[in-house]
């Protein structure tokens, strides 16, 4: 490995997990992470940087169910990861056969766990009746998995980043504006706005929602049209919001499970409510997932995060704040009616129509690799993502995973993917007031 060097662009869970697995396998390797934000900055654009994220293996897709179990085993047993995982359980109101599909997958994997599909009337009495006022319209049954939970996402991301730095990985805080190629066309590094060139034999893009824009700009500046992601990757945004509970409510909600309102693909995306953090903040995510289709270059339209350095993530419109009020209502009804909503944020992730990651060599250039597309569900795999990304780099990924996560593969129509961005951000902004003189 001595002649190999790795440049990982992006310090979210895909990038940091790659660095973690690489440096543990090859302690002498030259590995650099480059990100526009410092890993311990007060505000970051990374989807991975958040107060908390759901950690579960409750998937109807067998591959992600297995991967979720593998990641949870690390969260439960490894002293590095353990402090960040809270095994509070999950309470998932299902309007399809989702609960049965999850139970079947656990069975197929031979995994015994404390999970069951509970009839609605019985479920309403669980957890001291916390979800008794939820909206159960169309709910068939409730999946209760006591082994699922949540992680303190930002704290965990910082801790693992510090660990990789301790092990010898370098961290450069800089915006990457382009990719470098040698004459035969191999990717040899990246460029920054100051004109610095960072070089490596392997360049791995873990750039989340920014990936289509970076590839589009690189395609234009190098004339290598095939670098463009085309319809493979779409940047999508979603709103989160929080309330701070008073002491009385906190004592009731402190040990609550993660709540999920599951809908069919036709009805819309699933929405969730996360248990309070140590600062007594209860969080929701909304049901409106949107693109921001904009002209990246004259005549080239793609969805990308807003151009501001912070993706304008704290600038949340009234319409999107309403999304969080709706989420509050369908989980807690009258219990949450007086809660004041605060800390709204728009979080951007990269989506594929099948909701699969892309973990693959880029087909247009040797030396260039892509590892991203969390599809709004990637955080929970943080402990193990890098293991598979290293396998991809070494060509030893199983054929099933190599095909599922390929750059080039057949992709289904997005209509079966409830979480695929369906709205346009421009239609969700506050109206601009014009004053009459
Ligand atoms: C609101 C919301 C809630 C979610 N909830 C959950 C959940 O409960 N459970 C779960 O498992 N998943 C959840 N997800 C999904 C999960 O957060 C993402 O799938 C995952 O974090 C994506 O990680 P990433 O490393 O691909 O991207 P990111 O975390 O976005 O990281 C990308 C990094 O690349 C850097 N970067 C990009 N472009 C450049 C550039 N040109 N130069 C330098 N740096 C660059 C960015 O600064 C950023 O740090 C949620 C997502 C959102 C948006």
**Cβ–ligand 1 contact at 60 (below 6 Å):** no
Rounded CA-CA distance 213/304 in Å is 6
In a domain, 422, yes or no: no
- Taking residues 30-59, report their average pLDDT: 98
**Cβ–ligand 1 contact at 344 (below 6 Å):** no
Whether 392 and 361 have beta carbons less than 8 Å apart is answered as: yes
In a domain, 259, yes or no: yes
DSSP state of 168: T
Q: What string of DSSP letters covers 379-408?
A: GGGHHHHHHHHHHHHTT-S-HHHHHHT-SS
Quick: pLDDT tens for 233-291: 999 999 999 999 999 999 999 999 999 999 998 999 999 999 999 999 999 999 999 99
pLDDT value, residue 174: 98
Output the CA 184–ligand 1 centroid distance in Å.
33
Cα angle for residues 205, 208, 213 (degrees, 5° grid): 80
Count of alpha carbons within 13 angstroms of residue 83, beta-carbon side: 9
Quick: pLDDT tens for 136-155: 999 999 999 999 999 999 99
- Taking residues 93-109, report their average pLDDT: 98
- Taking residues 417-422, report their average pLDDT: 96
Output the CA 28–ligand 1 centroid distance in Å.
28
**Cβ–ligand 1 contact at 214 (below 6 Å):** yes
Q: How many domains does the chain have?
A: 1
| Statement: the pTM of the whole predicted model exceeds 0.75 | yes
Point out the ligand 1 atom lying closest to the alpha carbon of residue 381: 11
pLDDT value, residue 240: 98
Q: Which residues, at least 6 apart from 73, have a Cβ–Cβ distance to it below 8 Å? A: none
Q: What is the CATH number of the domain that holds 269?
A: 3.50.50.60
Burial 64-93 (b: 16+ CB within 10 A, else e): bbbbbbebbebbeeeeebeebbbebbbbbb
- Taking residues 306-320, report their average pLDDT: 97
Point out the ligand 1 atom lying closest to the alpha carbon of residue 350: 26
* Closest CA to ligand 1's atom 27: 208
In a domain, 158, yes or no: yes
Domain enclosing residue 246, as ranges: 5-416
Output the CA 13–ligand 1 centroid distance in Å.
7
Output the CA 406–ligand 1 centroid distance in Å.
19
In a domain, 424, yes or no: no
Does residue 437 carry a pLDDT above 90?
no
**Cβ–ligand 1 contact at 275 (below 6 Å):** no
In a domain, 390, yes or no: yes
In a domain, 153, yes or no: yes
- Taking residues 400-425, report their average pLDDT: 97
Q: Is 285 left (phi over 0), alpha (psi -120 to 50) or beta?
A: beta
Q: Which of 54, 273, 320, 378 to mutate to test the pocket of ligand 1 (most atoms within 8 A of CB)?
A: 378
Rounded CA-CA distance 104/11 in Å is 35
* Closest CA to ligand 1's atom 22: 374
In a domain, 430, yes or no: no
At residue 1 the predicted structure's pLDDT band, cuts being 50, 70 and 90, is very low
Does residue 434 carry a pLDDT above 70?
no
Whole-number percent of the chain with pLDDT over 90: 97
Rounded CA-CA distance 123/139 in Å is 11
Between 167 and 2, residue with greater pLDDT: 167
Q: Which of 9, 12, 196 to mutate to test the pocket of ligand 1 (most atoms within 8 A of CB)?
A: 12
At residue 394 the predicted structure's pLDDT band, cuts being 50, 70 and 90, is very high
3-state secondary structure of 183: coil
Whole-number percent of the chain with pLDDT over 70: 98
**Cβ–ligand 1 contact at 304 (below 6 Å):** no
At residue 435 the predicted structure's pLDDT band, cuts being 50, 70 and 90, is low
In a domain, 183, yes or no: yes
């Amino acid at each position: 490995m001595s002649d190999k060097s790795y440049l990982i662009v992006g310090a979210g869970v895909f990038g940091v997990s790659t660095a973690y697995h690489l440096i543990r396998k090859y302690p002498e390797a030259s590995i650099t992470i480059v990100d526009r934000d410092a890993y311990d900055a007060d505000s970051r654009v990374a989807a991975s940087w958040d107060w908390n994220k759901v950690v579960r293996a409750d998937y109807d897709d067998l591959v992600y169910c297995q991967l979720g179990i593998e990641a949870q085993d690390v969260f439960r047993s490894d002293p590095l990861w353990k402090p960040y995982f809270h095994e509070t359980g999950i309470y998932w109101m299902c309007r399809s056969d989702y609960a049965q599909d999850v139970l079947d997958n656990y069975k197929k994997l031979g995994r015994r766990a404390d999970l069951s599909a509970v009839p609605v009337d019985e479920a309403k009495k669980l957890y001291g009746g916390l979800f008794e006022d939820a909206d159960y319209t169309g709910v068939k049954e409730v999946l209760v998995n006591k082994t699922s939970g949540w992680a303190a996402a930002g704290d965990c991301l910082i801790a693992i980043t510090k660990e990789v730095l301790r092990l010898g990985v370098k961290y450069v805080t800089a915006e990457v504006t382009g990719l470098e190629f040698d004459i035969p066309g191999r990717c040899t590094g990246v460029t920054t706005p100051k004109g610095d060139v960072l070089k490596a034999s392997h360049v791995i893009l873990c750039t989340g929602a920014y990936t289509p824009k970076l590839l589009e700009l690189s395609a234009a500046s190098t004339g290598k049209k095939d670098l463009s992601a085309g319809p493979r990757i779409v940047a999508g945004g979603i709103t989160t919001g929080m309330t701070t509970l008073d002491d009385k409510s906190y004592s009731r909600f402190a040990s609550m499970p993660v709540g999920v309102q599951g809908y069919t693909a036709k009805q819309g995306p699933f929405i969730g409510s996360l248990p309070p953090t140590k600062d007594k903040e209860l969080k929701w995510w909304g049901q409106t997932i949107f693109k921001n289709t904009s002209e990246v270059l004259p005549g080239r339209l793609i969805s990308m995060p807003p151009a501001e350095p912070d993706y304008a993530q704290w600038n949340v419109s009234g319409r999107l704040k309403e999304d969080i009020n709706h989420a509050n209502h369908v989980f807690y009804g009258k219990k949450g009616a007086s809660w004041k909503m605060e800390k709204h944020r728009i979080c951007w992730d990269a989506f594929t129509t099948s909701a699969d990651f892309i973990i693959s060599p880029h087909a247009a250039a040797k030396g260039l690799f892509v590892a991203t597309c969390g599809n709004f569900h990637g955080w929970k795999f943080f402990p193990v993502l890098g293991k598979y990304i290293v396998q991809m780099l070494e060509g030893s990924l199983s054929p099933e995973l190599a095909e599922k996560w390929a750059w080039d593969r057949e992709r289904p129509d997005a209509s079966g993917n409830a979480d695929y961005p369906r709205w346009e951000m421009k239609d969700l902004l506050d109206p601009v007031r014009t004053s009459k003189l």
